[in-house]
Amino acid sequence: MKAGHTQKVFGWRRGVVVVAAWLTGCGGVTGEEALAPASAARGLAAACPAGLPDGPLVPDGTTASTCAAATQTPLTLTYASGEGHQLDLYRPATGSGPFPTVVWIHGGGWRGGSRLDVNQARWLVCRGYAVASIDYRLSAVAVFPAQLHDVKAAVRFLRANAAGYGLDPSRFAAFGSSAGGHLAALAGTSRGVAGLEDPSQGNAGVSSAVQAVVDWYGPTDFARMDSQLLARGCGPGSAQHGQPDSPESQLVGCTVADASCQGAVALANPVTHVGAGDPPMLVLHGDQDCTVPSEQGLLLTSAMETAGRCVVQRDVVGAGHGGAGWVSTPVQDATAAFLDAMLKPAVAPSTPQAVCSSFQLVGNPATSTGATWTYDSVDQGVHYVLKGILFQPATGTGPFPAVVISHGKGGTARGYSANVARTMVGWGLVAIGTTYTHAADAAGTLPAGDEGASEENVLRAHKARDLLSCVGNVDFTRVAAHGHSMGGFVTGQLLGTHPADFRAASHTAAGVSAGPNSTRPDAAGNITTPYQLHHGDADTVVPLSQDQTLKSILVANGTPTALYVHAGYTHDQIPFDATMLSRVRTWYRQYGVLP
């Protein structure tokens, strides 16, 4: 990227979006100088959801509309110690949240710009996003990877403090243009790369993962930029990225063209780190760009496709490196539409499947003793013979949130599940529990199968959730799950099997292992539900390491989680602990189960 041009910034993000700015007036060409497309237009990778728009974008001379909330005075926060670690947070004026968040990373060749360059990102506030515009250390202050460290520190800070600011920690994205596009792409591809994160900046243990990336004309392979520019027919003056004073050389702290610098260059290249766990990406590039050639975007697109990841590459017709085309309604709407698809998925809870005439209730669920129930039905070819407990708030008009409570080995729904339900119904939840194969009174219940997180017990747990439709006045967008020990194993396996059906979850004394009764690692990898974990460090029945393993899987996937280790607690001391239950209640509030 060349210096000496007006800097502008662009970006959005649904969940958390990391946005960066572009340089305007850099190498745009017109008339007979117009360049041929870098390659045939590319569309959607096979890994992307169906229905995403693709194809070239044609700016139409309009500018995306804004709203009053986008011009409000932001909340200025410090996300890490030291100079240059502030962010401005803008939030929607309407809606109760938690909001998806855009982390805006300004551009300027890594050596200019500031968080105040937010004009082209603020409009996302009008579409229901929180926008966080961040400062980061420029190359004159610190060389790479300091800039990426700062981006990830900002994401960790926002995720760790999401509840206080009304943000949804499960929906973060990185979005940027030019230098910012480079950092946004790296935020997506470099998860877990040694040296590319600095936990000492704060909130160590909190995930810096993003759930989507938008890269507008960002460099992806520094050493190839000059040859690509010359091959495209750009003037010799454009091919200066390998020089000692180029923005790229100043970023990495050595001359990009020198052989001795190639290790540093490779570390800073987003394409180096592309892998199987990378989030979906939108890659936009002007087809007339003579500052960062559009082949740079194609390199990233190709690497993502090879790794089997979702990537959408679109040309912006007639656009150079920045300029009016990038603020046009078609370009900005296309960016927001991609983020909406990734971070505002139209995934509704599954439709409950239950034959309510077979659901027999005994007693009054709105009393302190609750009610018991039985269910005998063949549903989708599975014979269910179940029994359980039900508690319902005595006051209020609903629709009510609900929770599925799962007991451990040797326990029962009438014992453990009912005891926990008596507390949770006081929070305003409808609470249901069923009997599992590992129950003391499991005889005669179906489907039969192994104990713990077996397929049959997951069927039983999900059927209990479905039976809430027979209770009536339950909000199926606000259903939680909670369990203890083997019931916690069932809870984890349930979340991994039906991730869209539960808003938040919690358990005590459970976790992941390869054994037949525990939540399995493959199921844990599918969990997207915010999940709070509790374990006693004196537990000799289920090792603490199992919940530590589960936490590590959730953190790596960017799933909101917290593990509370209770000092001196044994396996049997934790399931009814008042502090644990208070934290669960706060968790359910934080993630929208409870108001």
Residue-wise pLDDT for 48-97, tens only, equals: 876 778 899 999 998 887 788 888 899 999 999 988 999 999 998 877 77
Residue 50 CB contacts under 8 Å (≥ 6 apart), including other chains? none
Report the C-alpha gap between 365 and 5 in whole angstroms.
69
Residue 211 pLDDT greater than 80, yes or no: yes
Higher pLDDT, 382 or 21: 382
Residue 120 CB contacts under 8 Å (≥ 6 apart), including other chains? 8, 9, 10, 11, 21, 326, 327, 332
> For residue 33, what pLDDT band results from cuts at 50, 70 and 90?
very low
> For residue 528, what pLDDT band results from cuts at 50, 70 and 90?
confident
> What's the distance, CA 393 to chain centroid?
33
Structure tokens belonging to residue 100: 């998806």
Residue 9 pLDDT greater than 70, yes or no: no
Report the C-alpha gap between 220 and 225 in whole angstroms.
9
pLDDT of residue 67: 81
Nearest alpha-carbon partner for 563 in 577, 589, 575, 545: 545
Q: Spell out the alpha helix ranges (H) of 314-451.
A: 329-343, 418-424
pLDDT of residue 66: 77
Q: What is the DSSP string of 539-579?
A: -SSS-HHHHHHHHHHHHHHT--EEEEEETT--TTTSTT-HH
> For residue 471, what pLDDT band results from cuts at 50, 70 and 90?
very high
Residue 278 pLDDT greater than 50, yes or no: yes
Report the C-alpha gap between 144 and 494 in whole angstroms.
42
Query: What percentage of the chain has pLDDT greater than the value 90?
Result: 67
Backbone phi, then psi, for 133, in 5-degree steps? -95, 120
Check if the beta carbon of residue 270 is closer than 8 Å to that of residue 186: yes
420-462 pLDDT, tens per residue?
999 999 999 999 999 999 999 999 999 999 999 999 999 999 9
Average the pLDDT over 173-197 and give the result: 93
pLDDT of residue 43: 55
542-581 pLDDT, tens per residue?
999 999 999 999 877 768 788 999 999 999 999 999 999 9
**Pairing mode of beta strands 167-177, 212-216:** parallel
> For residue 328, what pLDDT band results from cuts at 50, 70 and 90?
confident
Check if the beta carbon of residue 242 is closer than 8 Å to that of residue 202: no
Interhelix angle for 486-497 vs 455-471, to 10°?
80
Could you tell me the domains of the chain?
10-28+42-219+277-343 (3.40.50.1820), 356-590 (3.40.50.1820)
Nearest alpha-carbon partner for 460 in 477, 483, 478: 483
Residue 33 CB contacts under 8 Å (≥ 6 apart), including other chains? none
pLDDT of residue 591: 76
In the block, which residue shows the tokens 């697109």?
301
Cβ-based neighbour number of residue 363 at 10 Å: 13
Cβ-based neighbour number of residue 51 at 10 Å: 8
Average the pLDDT over 289-296 and give the result: 96
pLDDT of residue 1: 34
pLDDT of residue 586: 86
Report the C-alpha gap between 188 and 432 in whole angstroms.
40
Backbone phi, then psi, for 136, in 5-degree steps? -150, 160
98-155 pLDDT, tens per residue?
889 889 899 999 999 999 888 777 878 888 888 999 999 999 999 999 999 999 999 9
Report the C-alpha gap between 535 and 574 in whole angstroms.
7
Torsion sign across C-alpha atoms 116, 118, 123, 125:
negative
354-383 pLDDT, tens per residue?
999 999 999 999 999 999 999 999 999 999
Average the pLDDT over 34-58 and give the result: 63
Report the C-alpha gap between 77 and 57 in whole angstroms.
36
Cis check: omega of the bond before 543, within 30 degrees of 0: no
Residue 351 pLDDT greater than 70, yes or no: yes
Check if the beta carbon of residue 496 is closer than 8 Å to that of residue 502: no
